[in-house]
A and B are shown apart, each in its own frame.
Chain A
């Protein structure tokens, strides 16, 4: 009785199947949206709401400047606090997308009367955009396969470690918004190709504009899309839809991209962008030929015309390229581009690129770490894609294959491959699960029909015969489904573990376990930077290795000689040379650069291994690349890098060694080991009696991680 009355009451709220499906889909998407955001908050909960690592500090500083001084001042900002004495034209040498986005969010929140600090906005920008990326992944998946694949793609990308590594809260870097922009541009372009509408083409042009404003990785888009178009042309899939989409996207996207000062006229002048232009002209030739074919009825005549036109077009293109390159109008490919195509190029020619750990070729373990089960779902997804080829699946296959190659070349490009891998794996998961469930459900239905109505129709009998042919199908499908769920749950566990253990550390604050299992925090970086900020003259110039440049200007508010924007190799080499010279020679260089303080990072007391002594060989290499006086073998003993008694004499007396180990010989960092025992390298240092002549210790942090030396004025000569 009561049951029926409640069901009567609920009748108006009863949903049709389609509405139910929509409700489920929307709620899953909402949950995924929230999940993508909160899984990136480990670092905020475990540490604090702070900016991580190196580059984000520059982005934060510029965003602060943007919100305080307005857009025009930001655009015209000449920063005299970095690259002393050269300075840096900030407005013309950065991708402003990230800063403008954060500033707009900040303005919007303040307009809505939410009194938030700009730092909180910056910290949460990356998770927010990661959440948006899941939505884009859903729509993209829906476009290339079906809404089920879209949902799976959204879930996979929400927790995929390859993406989380660059988008945790606090990792306020270009990649945070750029991956969103990249995937969004691709989605809009694929949509434009599928629909052939100008509106979607225009939208993709704007998506491309946002991507260009956000990250230098836009070069990937401007090369992948022409490649995709070329493949479609070759496979005979040329259509009017493609023509409209590509032309609209390329022309408008190019014009919009030129508005970014850092990019400027590169779209028409640089070698990296020429592929897009070539394909653009090829497209016109194709259209022209199509038109001629339409007009000419004689196929033989058309064949001849075709050969002449193609020859002429190719020749004209080749001559134009040759003349452009020879006259210097078209700049050749940059070293970074070469290093992508040839992984060994950077090691031989550009040590400064090779010195960054995230530019190293990827190890298998990090693929496994970042993709987990996606790594073998990826080929399965490719199989499904090839089985159901369409314009959209061709695109995702090409995106997946090219980005996987780049991910193999450089560790940090795993990030670019992640959306493609997630989408393709989602197709695999979705298609498999769908097939299996269809199998299960259809059998049930047959059984039901059989029991209620009996075997009456021919349809049912045919299905029953199908059942009989595969007797273990139901069990097999069940087992496979459970297997899939097991794998996916392992994936979720793995992702959460990786996020919490590996990718949520700010690297400014170091945490370790103490002897009693308690958490010990080493906050030495900020101690040193804050000391610089408060207790040195405001115009003091600090020399350090370039890794710490952005942090010193952002947190210490002091002028630096070199920083992470490694635009001037000679300047960096000069610093490298100073660090690897004897103190007298180094003093000359330091005086010539007008340096007041020298900052080194030293991990010998705490066992912190990414310190300056371990980076020192790169300083030698980069310094030696410009100044041949510095020779790497002088610092090595039989090709071995050591700091103990057996170290090379030049090593034991160079400035970096002296500054790192000054008075360390009196120190007993570990019980039961001799004084001067370096815990980072596990040896007793070779030179314990270090005297400094031209520099004096100004500050050393409580765990010795950062040491700052003051440069003494020159001695009186009389």
Chain B
């Protein structure tokens, strides 16, 4: 409650500041947005915002940089921003992915806002217009209210936003659609014209909005989708050139929705599944690569027996169940491990290097990951590791000692914060490896046994007694 009030106060202050600056100096802009449509999907705890902008160059010179604006709270929860340029007419549209980078505006009004610049592939000439599609993904953005619920209550959350799109450009016409998971909406702020039909609330159309205009709204609605958040995922991919890739994933899973309060009654949970613990969850589904083998699912105190593996030639699905159902605020940690055939993931590149091609992401479906660490353990004796990841990540090198290692294995560590399923894509790690190193460990073992037998033979044949 308090947090909510504070958020409102901040928003109001920002609004005043905005209005103040807007009235004083509106910087000249080259672009005008002739039509903007925003669709906000609130059906899970991952919020997708689809923004379709029709941008028109009203300046005199060709320009290629379109600026997007977000509030700082939005940026804190932003997992991903993606922009596409739509080319062509109806039915024959092609989309081109555009580069989006966070920027600082030199002539920005001193307001509390963050900027992202979209770099158009071809500069937009004066008078021309183009259609851009922008996707924002936010996580941890829904605020449970009440913050603590009992077992039989369902989970209500707040969504805060503005009815008008925050933009440095003049918007001629704009509409916002908010989709809620069910028809149970406690309250929402109207900014006329506002219309609610079924699970959709429509704000707008609003005409001729000056730059930086906002109008705060909130929606208070029921959302019982599992707020499953992986606080930390450490994925270790160990490559063995003897034909196997061993993947070990350490999860810290938490229910990030409204906290569970008071009694947990097994009778109620077992007999009245739907009305009781509606926001809790029990089952998780992990989508693993095809031809997976030796799958295990355990935690610090042993094997967890509640899991099912379904495999076919294209994919494998592992259905797992934590030891107990997760209610708001409850935690569970566990480990999933599996082996994969090497030839599916390891390839040779043209310049005599080898590379691992693997999915960057969390196999659990629909899961938000606060901190994702991927450790690629290269075989002993490999050199020059270089990762190639389609989006910015932090990376560093470590060493690891596995069985029979003498000099240690090189580990490439990749770290990404705020990971959402939309990030799932392939990454590569290139390295050089001399196959002669594969023989090191078998030779070591063989020589150790040989020495042992030699010692035995010597012992039998040598007389160690002092007296004859």
Contacts and interface: CB of A to CB of B under 8 A. Distances in A.
Interface of A: 47-48, 50, 113-115, 508-509, 521, 523, 526-527, 529-531, 533-535, 555, 663, 666-667, 696-702, 704
B442 interface: no
Q: Quick one: which of B265, B302, B303, B404 has the most chain A CB within 10 A?
A: B302
Nearest to B303: A48
B97 interface: no
Interface string B279-315: 0000000000000000000111111111000000000
B324 A530 contact: yes
Given A531-B330, A666-B267, A700-B264, 11 more contacts: A50-B303, A113-B401, A115-B402, A523-B304, A523-B305, A526-B302, A530-B324, A531-B324, A534-B332, A534-B333, A701-B266
A535 B328 CA distance: 11
A535 B267 contact: no
B interface secondary structure, majority: loop
B301 A555 contact: yes
A113 B301 contact: no
Nearest to A666: B267
B323 interface: yes
Given A113-B401, A697-B263, A50 B302 contact: yes
A563 B52 CA distance: 65
Contacts of A704: 266
A699 B324 contact: yes
Interface string B318-329: 000001100001
A529 B300 CA distance: 11
A530 B324 CA distance: 9
A48 B302 contact: yes
Given A527-B323, A698-B264, A115 B401 contact: yes
B252 to A, nearest CB: 10
A459 to B, nearest CB: 37
Contacts of B329: 535
Nearest to B267: A663
Nearest to A526: B301
B331 interface: yes
Contact of B263 (A555, A698, A701): A698
A113 B404 contact: yes
A114 B323 contact: no
Interface residues of B, number: 29
A272 to B, nearest CB: 38
A369 B405 CA distance: 47
A523 B304 CA distance: 8
Contacts of A701: 266, 324
A529 B301 contact: yes
19 contacts: A47-B303, A48-B303, A50-B302, A113-B401, A113-B403, A114-B403, A114-B404, A115-B401, A523-B305, A526-B301, A526-B302, A527-B323, A533-B301, A535-B331, A555-B301, A666-B271, A696-B263, A697-B264, A700-B265
B403 A523 contact: no
B262 interface: yes
A555 B300 CA distance: 8
Interface of B: 262-267, 271, 298-306, 323-324, 329-333, 401-406
Nearest to B271: A666
A701 B266 CA distance: 7
Contacts of A47: 303
Q: Quick one: which of B267, B304, B306 has the most chain A CB within 10 A?
A: B267
Given A115-B403, A698-B264, A521 B305 contact: yes
Contact of A696 (B262, B300, B403): B262
Contact of A702 (B266, B300, B403): B266
A697 to B, nearest CB: 5
A53 to B, nearest CB: 14
Contacts, number: 72
Nearest to B298: A48
A80 B218 CA distance: 50
B299 A697 contact: no
Contact of A667 (B267, B301, B324): B267
Q: Quick one: which of A113, A521, A555, A667 has the most chain B CB within 10 A?
A: A113
A663 B265 contact: yes
Nearest to B460: A22
The 8 closest A-B pairs by CB, nearest first: A700-B266, A534-B331, A48-B303, A527-B323, A555-B301, A115-B403, A113-B404, A50-B302
Q: Quick one: which of A508, A521, A535, A667 has the most chain B CB within 10 A?
A: A535
B323 A526 contact: yes
B248 to A, nearest CB: 12
A523 B263 CA distance: 22
Nearest to B306: A523
B405 A113 contact: yes
Contacts of B298: 48
Nearest to A712: B262
Contacts of A699: 264, 324
Contacts of B305: 509, 521, 523
Contacts of A534: 330-333
B324 A527 contact: yes
A653 B202 CA distance: 60
A113 B445 CA distance: 11
Nearest to A703: B266
Contacts of B324: 527, 530-531, 699, 701-702
A508 B305 CA distance: 13
Nearest to B296: A48
Contacts of B267: 663, 666-667
Contacts of A663: 265, 267
A690 B271 CA distance: 19
Contacts of B404: 113-114
B410 to A, nearest CB: 16
B299 A530 contact: yes
A579 B306 CA distance: 33
A415 to B, nearest CB: 26
Given A697-B264, A700-B264, A531 B323 contact: yes
Contact of B265 (A509, A521, A697): A697
Contacts of B265: 663, 697, 700
Contacts of B401: 113, 115
Contacts of B302: 48, 50, 508-509, 526
Given A523-B305, A535-B330, A697-B263, A530 B323 contact: yes
Contacts of B331: 534-535
Contacts of A698: 263-264
Contacts of A700: 264-266
A667 B266 CA distance: 10
A70 B144 CA distance: 46
A596 to B, nearest CB: 15
Contacts of A531: 323-324, 330
Q: Quick one: which of B298, B324, B402 has the most chain A CB within 10 A?
A: B324
Contact of B406 (A113, A508, A555): A113
B266 A530 contact: no
A530 to B, nearest CB: 5
A558 to B, nearest CB: 13
A23 to B, nearest CB: 12
B428 to A, nearest CB: 27
A531 B329 CA distance: 12
B334 to A, nearest CB: 9
A50 B329 CA distance: 29
Nearest to B265: A697
A704 B329 CA distance: 22
Q: Quick one: which of B301, B303, B306, B406 has the most chain A CB within 10 A?
A: B301
Nearest to B262: A696
A695 to B, nearest CB: 10
Nearest to B269: A700
Contacts of A114: 403-404
A113 B448 CA distance: 13
A578 to B, nearest CB: 21
Contacts of B271: 666
A694 to B, nearest CB: 14
A534 B306 CA distance: 18
